Structure 1
Amino acid sequence: MRHLYVMRHAKAKQPSGDMTDHQPPLSKRGKRQAAEMANVLQRWQALEGEVYASTAARTRETFDEVVAQLPERALAKQVHFDEALYTFDGKGLLAWLKALPDEAERVLLISHNPALHDLARWINKVTPHSLPTGSVLHFTLQVTFWKNVEQGSAELSEYLTPEMASYSLFKRLAPKPPEHNHDTASRIRDMLEHQYQVIRALEPGVVAGIDPEFLHQYRVNLRRSRAVGESLRSVTKVSDLKKMLKRLKHRGQATSDLRDIDVFLEDIIKTPPPISSGTRQGLTHWLQGCQWAQHQVLCQQLIEPEYAADLLAWQNFIASVEVEKALSKLTPKRIQSVVDERVARHDEDLKALSLDAQDTDFHDLRKGVKRIRYLADLNPEAPKAFLSELKHRQRLLGDFQDLCSRQAWLDAFGKSQDKDPQQQQECTQWRDSLDKPKLALRKKVLALKPFVLKPLTNVTA
């Protein structure tokens, strides 16, 4: 089997002065695109074989940015800059491909459109209809010799754009939030529609699984949509809303374990844990295996017809007359009355907590804080100090939950089969040591003061 990786150069500056087309360098965004794709190329093993690139400045710099991200790799020794690849003719590029040496089993080609895209469409007709700057296609070919490549003979294994690999690049193309509308009903409907659009736009990045921030934002927007819906349900009656929220909850729960693993792995990299390097490697490898398995399950769910049907049903529900009528009855005063009720309940739950309370009691308190915050966000007149305090409490309780999640994964690692006894012992000791920071957080939570309701009730209808 042969592997062909087709990469379009990253975004270049427009020619200026007497520049020829050969000379424009990468733009600032182009450099970011190429840098973000370095990890993708390494994960796909695109850099394990020969690299061929056009002699144009923009292709040279695309490769240079990739090299800069992988200093441990001697990539400069395996690149071939070929004037023949500075072409916009697909037929010429095909002739070059068929003339490749047969010992080259894995080839990365960095060149230009429309030649690259024409070549890709020739060897595989289901290739995407566009190839944006910085994008990479991975083809596998069941041929013994490159000269035997035929039309439609390649299988497209993977496809990724920089905006699917990097959340920071994606944000430029993300759906823009609606303009603020003082009409409560219109503002909430626009908020829900925007969250729906963001969820759908994030899906390719979630499936790609390169940048965990895609999953985080996907999860956040799912949960926010559900929270807004639950807040609406607590204020007014809407038929079928309970059923819709149940579907959103199911979709959100499908991301829980994977997000927890992502956070844990990020923490291990940022703050080395109190375990030996061998145990850290063993734990990391095990977590990555769990991460891969959880990601496969999530990706399978995202391509099922039932998933698309659930999301489409939610979008249609948001736009329904029933929801419009319910929202028309919503006023800041009605929202605030429910906020006041939930705040009073929160204060009661907080007062009932003790230092030796169950972890689940603290988790329940966190959920209550989230519901108050999302509901308060619906009211543009909510005091900023109140919202700030809600966020503070949510972060505090979120840190506590992260420690509990970390302990749960360490327990699972310790119970997994065929693990080195020394590694299991070290992880058990680390797990037990997390009780101390958990206790400190418990004390901070118990030290929180009750909310003062009086300033929150001065809201007009």
Structure 2
Amino acid sequence: MKELYLLRHAKASRASGGMEDCHRPLSRRGRRQVAAMAQALQRLGALDGEIHVSTSTRTRQTLLGLDEQLPASSLAGRTRYTQALQTFDWKQLRKWLMALPSDCDSVILIGHNPALTGLARWLCRQAPADLPTGGLLSLSLPVEGWQDLRKHRADRVARLTPSETSHALFRKQAPRAPDLDRARTDKRVLGLLIHQYRMVRALEPGVVAGFDPEFLHQYRVNLRRSRAIVESVGAIIRVPGLGKVLKRLKHRARATSDLRDLDVFLETLGQEPPSLSEQTLKTVHDWLEHQGRERHAALCHAMAQPCYARDMAKWQRFLSNKGLRRALREVTPEEVEAVLTERVLRHDADLAALTDDSPDASLHELRKTVKRIRYLAELDPERHRTFLAGLKQRQSLLGEFQDLCTRQTWIRAFSASMPDTGPPGGVEKECLDWLDSLEARKAKLHRAVIALDPLQEAPPLS
């Protein structure tokens, strides 16, 4: 079995003056693409074997950029620059590839398009026809030697692009939010729902790639915002099919919960423990990463199933249904305001009922109510600008409490996973101390929540 990685050079500047094409350097965007792909290439093992690079300036700088991002890998010292790879003809690449020695099992080739995609499509019928700058195609080839390559014989092909490894790069080409500041209520609601659907679909490749946790976060946010808006519409007016769509949105959002919690925990782990030993911290980190990999694999499996595609198609049809548009035209700002007021009153009643002995679940429900209030108020952000600003601190406080509870759950699960070694001590004792420190922080936040003013005493809704 041979592994072949085809990496297109990162984005290059345009030729200026009498500059030849082969001398074009990387642009600023190209350097960002290299930085975004470096860790992904390393995790995929694409840089473990032989490294062959075209002699053009942009391919050289792509390799040197990777070397700068991964200093421990010594890429520059292992790289071979080859004039034959400076070609746009895939047949020339095939000829070069088939001349490689048989004892070379893994190769990455940094070169040019359309030669790279042409070679990939000769090797695999399913290979994509396009490859953006900085993008990678990886293929598994069931051959003993490179000279044995045959048309459409690859077992597997996968594509990875910089905008799938970096949410910052994705954001520059993401669907743009519509300008709805002065739109009628029905136009605003429908515009927001359509935009959130488009964002969910656009974020999917980054979620599946799994290199930047921000993709999952934004994917989850857009699912939950859509759910909240649909729930709000359902509280105002009857819409055919709304219940089924709401059920699917809840299911898809719920499937991301554990993985998102793990991502947040891992991001803050270095600052979290009160006094964990270096060995225990590493053990906890490795265990959390393993849990994250398992849940990411489960999420990717679920997203690859036909039922996921059907759910997305039904969601899209619901948004384009004339019945939804007719129903939304009957929604008035006054009706939205009435539902918002009712939710604020419910929040204030729940807040007033809190005591020092209230269970954690009471604060979790309060947090959910605040989020539903916010999403509803955001249907008319100009009208509720001051009110929304006042919600931020409240939501942040409740969100921090929720995060601490979630971390306690994971710490208990980690502790339970450790082998029973006799009397309490070592890792178990450290985890118990950790849980106690989190409980003390929760108690402080609990008191802060109880001390909050009712929302009805906040700035007026309109």
CA contact (8 A) 2:378 2:384 kept: no
1:338 and 2:339 matched: yes
User: C-alpha offsets along residues 140-170 of structure 1, whole Å, 9 cap, x if unaligned?
Assistant: 1222221111212222243201111111111
| Residue type of the alignment partner of 2:229 | V
Quote the Cα distance in structure 2 between the aligned partners of 1:37 and 1:235.
47
TM-fit CA distance, 1:33: 0.7
Stretch deviating more after TM superposition (212-221 or 99-108): 99-108
Alignment correspondent of 2:416: 415
Quote the Cα distance in structure 2 between the aligned partners of 1:268 and 1:380.
36
Quote the Cα distance in structure 1 between the aligned partners of 2:342 and 2:386.
19
2:454 paired residue among 445, 450, 458: 450
SS in structure 2 opposite 1:6? strand
CA contact (8 A) 2:287 2:414 kept: yes
Alignment correspondent of 1:312: 313
Q: How does 1:135-174 map to 2 (within 5 A)?
A: 135-174=135-174
2:438 paired residue among 434, 437, 447: 434
Alignment correspondent of 2:188: 187
Quote the Cα distance in structure 1 between the aligned partners of 2:217 and 2:229.
18
Runs of 4 or more above 4 Å deviation: 269-273
| Residue type of the alignment partner of 2:21 | D
TM-fit CA distance, 1:319: 2.0
TM-fit CA distance, 1:454: 8.8
1:355 and 2:356 matched: yes
Q: How does 1:62-461 map to 2 (within 5 A)?
A: 62-180=62-180, 181-269=182-270, 274-418=275-419, 422-452=426-456, 456=460, 458=462
Quote the Cα distance in structure 1 between the aligned partners of 2:35 and 2:4.
20
Alignment correspondent of 1:35: 35
CA contact (8 A) 1:49 1:107 kept: yes
Quote the Cα distance in structure 2 between the aligned partners of 1:390 and 1:166.
30
Quote the Cα distance in structure 2 between the aligned partners of 1:114 and 1:269.
45
Aligned length: 458
Quote the Cα distance in structure 2 between the aligned partners of 1:457 and 1:153.
64
CA contact (8 A) 2:26 2:58 kept: yes
- Percent sequence identity is 48
SS in structure 2 opposite 1:22? helix
Q: Residues 130 and 386 of structure 1: is their aligned pair in 2 closer, same or farther, counting only changes over 3 Å?
A: same
TM-fit CA distance, 1:237: 1.9
Stretch deviating more after TM superposition (366-375 or 391-400): 391-400
Unaligned runs of at least 5 residues, structure 2? none
TM-score by length of 2: 0.96
1:48 and 2:21 matched: no
SS in structure 2 opposite 1:52? strand
SS in structure 1 opposite 2:108? strand
TM-fit CA distance, 1:123: 1.1
| Residue type of the alignment partner of 2:452 | L
Quote the Cα distance in structure 2 between the aligned partners of 1:272 and 1:148.
55
TM-fit CA distance, 1:457: 5.7
Unaligned runs of at least 5 residues, structure 1? none
CA contact (8 A) 1:336 1:456 kept: no
CA root-mean-square deviation: 1.6
1:59 and 2:59 matched: yes
| Residue type of the alignment partner of 2:438 | L
Stretch deviating more after TM superposition (347-356 or 446-455): 446-455
Q: Residues 169 and 381 of structure 1: is their aligned pair in 2 closer, same or farther, counting only changes over 3 Å?
A: closer
SS in structure 1 opposite 2:137? strand
CA contact (8 A) 2:261 2:406 kept: yes
CA contact (8 A) 2:10 2:33 kept: yes
Quote the Cα distance in structure 2 between the aligned partners of 1:85 and 1:439.
64
CA contact (8 A) 1:340 1:456 kept: no
TM-score by length of 1: 0.96
TM-fit CA distance, 1:427: 2.2
Quote the Cα distance in structure 1 between the aligned partners of 2:272 and 2:440.
17
Quote the Cα distance in structure 2 between the aligned partners of 1:155 and 1:277.
43
Q: Residues 300 and 152 of structure 1: is their aligned pair in 2 closer, same or farther, counting only changes over 3 Å?
A: same
CA contact (8 A) 2:387 2:458 kept: no
SS in structure 1 opposite 2:223? helix
SS in structure 1 opposite 2:292? helix
| Residue type of the alignment partner of 2:119 | L
TM-fit CA distance, 1:453: 6.0
Quote the Cα distance in structure 2 between the aligned partners of 1:116 and 1:6.
6
TM-fit CA distance, 1:379: 2.0
User: C-alpha offsets along residues 208-253 of structure 1, whole Å, 9 cap, x if unaligned?
Assistant: 1111111100000000000000111112222321222111101110
User: C-alpha offsets along residues 376-432 of structure 1, whole Å, 9 cap, x if unaligned?
Assistant: 111244332210111221111011100100000000001115377632332232122
